[in-house]
Amino acid sequence: MAARTLTILAPLSRNLPDGVLRVRISDPDGRGVAQESVSTGFDLAPSAVVRIAEEDVRLWDVGDPQLYGVEVTVLAGAHGAELDRVRSYAALRSVSIDGNSFRLNGRRVFQRLVLDQGYWPESLMTAPSDQALIDDIELSMAAAFNGARLHQKVFEERFLFHADLRGYLVRGEFGDWGVSGQGPVGHNQKPDASVVAQWVEAVRRDVNHPSIVGWCPLNETHQVLHDRITVLDDATQAMFWATRLADPTRPVIDASGYSHRVRETDVYDSHSYEQDPEAFRAEQAGLAHGDPHVNRHHGGEIALPHERPEYSVPYAGQPLLISEYGGIWWNEEEASASRPDAESVVQDQADSWGYGNRVRREEEFYERFEGLTNVLLDDPTMFGYCYAQLTDVFQERNGIYGFDRGGSSTSIGCVGCSSAPRRMSCGRIEAVGDRAAFERSGVAPGPRTGPALRLVHECCGTSSRERLATPAP
């Protein structure tokens, strides 16, 4: 971004000794602002570097997704016939890390992410419609999340397209189900070559989407450290370096939670589902002294040479992201029908599951959500957070929204509206996120005018600022 350039790399299916690659750039208003042409005769993948004049620079940002139109044409010569043409879009934006903070376009942005598993009751892991993808982004933004951790699957590329259009941050991830439990303790994770190959395929597909601001190949690869190099060590290192080679512009987390095996990982993270805010505060307090909460082995004896309870290589001062927290067990109908005794709770958990004791009143949910989130907001060294999760998923009853998103994937409903599966207040949840937006970037909360939230405001009939000023029910 600093050079105000867009680089168009065009791998060709065959060499064209006398051909020309022509690139035309238009600004977000459709006005042509730059053009470049290069010969196709010297490279397997000719590239054109197009400089944008300073007065034409429009940056892609959170909630302000400025996009340039791109037209790439292959000609048979400088004045020859048109052989092929592609139209697409691109963005100018930068991603960097400064100390313990994430920066977008040089400005600190606190990542207020939500865990999105991308399941639907009628179609499982594939969205039932394009509108369903849009709805999930809009539901997330309605609750003041500025992005999502796309969890344990490679999402449809259309999701990223809609995130690009809405200024919605995304952390790309891979589904590594099935690699655990494949051997004895210390050798129980067995990701094979297919995991590396498929992950690189996903990164190559998605690398040009401006909404993606980070990568994370693996999730919760819980395997204790010992004195031998294992399949997990090699695969984690391979996926990390392959990601860095494919895309050196974005930070990479080697694995989300548990087994960090790459000392050079750009971001360190951990998962915690502690439900008591004060206990959560004590658990997270070590970050200020360079000793953050990390996931450790709490089982029985390991019985390995040089055994240790650690899953990860030592923390080395990287920015820390709490990439899973919350998961508050809450379902209004089930809570009113259940009994608080231990036998009833065990039976409930067979069909309805969340973390900690089920909250039994709506107000109790707000208090716990705000208490847990404020622990992370109160820590000036925190990189960001990811609340689990956006929606219920089958027996997991810990979503901000129900599994059916309100009964229809074509009519958007926000928290607090009659169409929503959770009768929660927009303002109560949104205000916590807006506190993060204000305190970490200096941007005061106010009416959201992006395309994603206009529908939500129309649904509620009030603006963000009006809802924040309205007393909780």
For residue 199, what is the domain's CATH number?
3.20.20.80
**How far is Cα 139 from Cα 135, in angstroms, rounded to an integer?**
6
**Residues 337, 210 share a domain:** yes
Range of the domain at 52: 5-90
How many structural domains comprise the chain?
2
Write the CA distances from 6 to 2, 51, 91, 94, 362, integer angstroms. 11, 7, 8, 12, 49
Q: Which amino acid, 202?
A: A
Which is nearest to 368 in space by CA: 274, 435, 473?
A: 274
**Residues 327, 383 share a domain:** yes
Q: What is the mean pLDDT of residues 104-117?
A: 96
**Residues 142, 260 share a domain:** yes
**Residues 84, 207 share a domain:** no
pLDDT band at 344 (very low <50, low <70, confident <90, very high): low
Q: List, edge to edge, every strand of the sheet that includes 320-326.
A: 212-216, 169-173, 147-150, 111-116, 382-388, 320-326, 268-271
Q: Which amino acid, 266?
A: D
Q: What is the mean pLDDT of residues 353-380?
A: 92
Task: Give the model's pLDDT for residue 302.
Answer: 57
**Residues 396, 286 share a domain:** yes
Task: Show which of 90, 110, 129 is a domain's final residue.
Answer: 90
**Residues 312, 394 share a domain:** yes
**How far is Cα 193 from Cα 200, in angstroms, rounded to an integer?**
11
SS3 426: helix
Task: Give the model's pLDDT for residue 298.
Answer: 75
Written as one string, the DSSP assignment of 218-265 is EE-------SS--HHHHHHHHHHHHHHHH-TTS-B-SEESS----TT-
pLDDT tens-digit map of 404-431:
987 533 223 333 333 344 545 556 777 7
Task: Show which of 90, 121, 145 is a domain's final residue.
Answer: 90
pLDDT tens-digit map of 180-196:
888 888 899 999 999 99
Phi, psi of 63 (to 5 degrees): 75, 0
**How far is Cα 11 from Cα 293, in angstroms, rounded to an integer?**
45
**Residues 67, 111 share a domain:** no
**Residues 138, 189 share a domain:** yes
Task: Give the model's pLDDT for residue 457.
Answer: 30
Which is nearest to 385 in space by CA: 396, 374, 399, 393?
A: 374
Residue identified by tokens 């979503």 is 399
Task: Give the model's pLDDT for residue 307.
Answer: 59
The C-alpha torsion from 290 through 291 and 292 to 296, rounded to 10°, is: 150
Q: pTM for the full model? A: 0.87
Task: Give the model's pLDDT for residue 77.
Answer: 87
pLDDT band at 341 (very low <50, low <70, confident <90, very high): low
Task: Give the model's pLDDT for residue 1.
Answer: 86
**Residues 189, 141 share a domain:** yes
Cβ–Cβ under 8 Å, residues 433 and 110: no
**Residues 58, 141 share a domain:** no
Decide if pLDDT at 391 tops 80: yes
pLDDT band at 387 (very low <50, low <70, confident <90, very high): very high
Task: Give the model's pLDDT for residue 340.
Answer: 65
Q: What is the mean pLDDT of residues 156-178?
A: 95
**Residues 389, 283 share a domain:** yes
pLDDT tens-digit map of 7-45:
999 999 988 999 999 999 999 999 999 999 999 999 999
Q: What is the largest CA-CA distance in the chain?
A: 81
Task: Show which of 31, 62, 90 is a domain's final residue.
Answer: 90
